[in-house]
Structure 1
């Protein structure tokens, strides 16, 4: 598994995660690349199932990289303002939206822009594609939620919202979708298109992630995570990640990384402090979860520059830290891929890639002179 993060400084950084099944020492990170492909802050990243990476930023450019071959495919230019969200549809299309209110559709076979959807009267905050590949949601600062029919590439219907939201997210199984902002959360059922749940946060929230179809993690200020059950409509637990401001949470597919149940170590806090159980609603630790699926591996990225890998035990409601990566940059977005580590046989290729601002691969194959060049580029960029 490879973790890729974008930064406020315009850098892209990759880290390969190696995990074992017996000793914690086998769980480690290896820097794989650094790339300065954007002039300004990187706003969004997405990786397709065949490891094609798309990144968008304030510079209005979408950069495409083949993570398997470690080469830059090129840049896509269509929007007249910063790119705010990118989503791959299988290995066929890339959907991109921006502050100009438009959604561009790119064919991955020839990289032509097949269509531009005139979506919102104002900046688009977020787009989300349903796992069936037939529906897409978009929200904008015009207080509208648009449902798109992707088979016909046109609007299905438009919903007026009571306020602006920052993110729209589908649940794991696609039964729900969430509208999220720093103060409010609304959950809708897809089948009935009705409002299922409305929450107002007591503290400023930064992001959220579904880890089951009716179970989500909500990041709030000062690095806390709340585990919330939609069925029971209650908070099950509260965890302290000891990070500054969690910008993104990603649930790791068990097929990508080996089992870490025996690799867990050092709980973030003692067990009597790591939980904040709402006993009024969840007596006897009845979480309503499938106890056969106890562990979830999650990754958090924070604005303080740290990436953390956790094992979330859903049965015991414990969060244990597996790995910490300090990027020394202000992280803005994150994605993961299952690309295999690639080695260059000739270090001259790496020097050429550094000079040409192309992707840099595998720190293990970089000589001290190459590292000096990388450090100079980083200092100049920051």
Structure 2
């Protein structure tokens, strides 16, 4: 497990989280340990996303950088956009979708890192996008005061809805039955079957980050130190707690055995991990925290879940070669070959095998031909 955060200072921070066994009468210990810092961008970082292999970062320098988290190396950069990269979303291990201030949405092959489709999404900036759990639809909002639905199968716009103001966040619920659109300090809840607002959640200050904790519970952070949990059906605040000393910039939630975890990042430089209660009505407990000393802007959590992601892919989708394939082979060299990494590794393996497989049959054949020639020569004499 790795916490990865970007900052205004252009630096990317990585922390490995170690889970220790629970002592008698105490809860399990979580310890973040500094893993890396990287200064790859030339402007502040603005967006991040992760899948089971990679973390990608977007920046005001108009580039997207790719980091291979298993090898802990920078994998390259994508330079198609001509504006600040505002949003990045992975779907499974095969596709990445990016949006930027140039009004474009790009669909990338996360296997070959090629741009598969470019869509002119908004007349202004693309401010946020979200992919439906099925992978067939996406939503985007922009500074042209529109909410757009995208058919990702055909790569075209499916529906356009005019909204009164510029929205800056859009997010699907885990089931895909509802979605939320954020305008300033208001969160409009939409139901998919009606495509209309079923209710509005009002936060104290401008909303800076949201994440669904379940299909009906939404975590909301604003330009303040407090995080609130809201029920999307009753629109009531379930609980609130002081998470940081400055405004919360990003949040990520995920589940691991025995824990439902919320991670928060703030301008105060801290990344904090919280364990949630079952009904979400009580404030969460702090698992661990780490101070980066920088003004954080975006956050991602990398979990090595290759096997789980491949199991959840539709049957028609092929497993991404970037992940180790589940082939029953004993040799560790063969397993390395099955992970599609740079060709140098594959050629090394191939070269090491050629001398043993290639020379001995050829040598035996030459000896046999030499013996036959020798016998013929002796008969003539």
TM-score range, shorter chain: 0.7 to 0.9
Gap regions ≥5 residues in structure 2: 306-381
Once the two structures are superposed, the pairs formed by residues 2-81 of structure 1 within 5 Å of their partners are: 2-23=2-23, 26-48=29-51, 50-81=52-83
Distance 1:103 1:230 in 2: 29
* Deviation for aligned residue 1:339: 4.0
1:332 aligns with 2:293: no
Tell me the TM-score normalised to structure 1 length: 0.75
Distance 1:245 1:105 in 2: 32
Which entry has the higher C-alpha Rg, 1 or 2?
Answer: 2
What's the counterpart of residue 264 of structure 2? 300
Once the two structures are superposed, the pairs formed by residues 217-228 of structure 1 within 5 Å of their partners are: 217-228=219-230
**Structure 1 ranges of 4+ moved more than 2 A:** 23-26, 199-206
What root-mean-square deviation, in Å, do the aligned CA atoms of Structure 1 and Structure 2 show? 1.7
Distance 2:204 2:116 in 1: 44
Q: Indicate conservation of the 8 Å contact 1:220/1:226, yes or no.
A: no
- Residues 141-178 of structure 1: per-residue CA shift (max 9 Å, x gap): 00011100011111111110111111111112211111
Q: Indicate conservation of the 8 Å contact 2:173/2:179, yes or no.
A: yes
* Deviation for aligned residue 1:203: 3.0
Cα 1:69–1:144, aligned 2, differ >3 Å: closer, same or farther? same
Distance 1:218 1:79 in 2: 30
Q: Indicate conservation of the 8 Å contact 1:243/1:306, yes or no.
A: no
Once the two structures are superposed, the pairs formed by residues 160-309 of structure 1 within 5 Å of their partners are: 160-255=162-257, 259=258, 296-309=260-273
Distance 1:339 1:35 in 2: 21
Aligned length: 301
* Deviation for aligned residue 1:21: 3.6
What's the counterpart of residue 282 of structure 2? 317
* Deviation for aligned residue 1:206: 2.3
Secondary structure of 2:35 counterpart: strand
Query: Which stretch shifts more, 96-105 or 204-213?
Result: 204-213
Larger RCO, structures 1/2 (Cα 8 Å, 6+ apart): 1
Cα 1:15–1:215, aligned 2, differ >3 Å: closer, same or farther? same
Distance 2:20 2:121 in 1: 47
Tell me the TM-score normalised to structure 2 length: 0.76
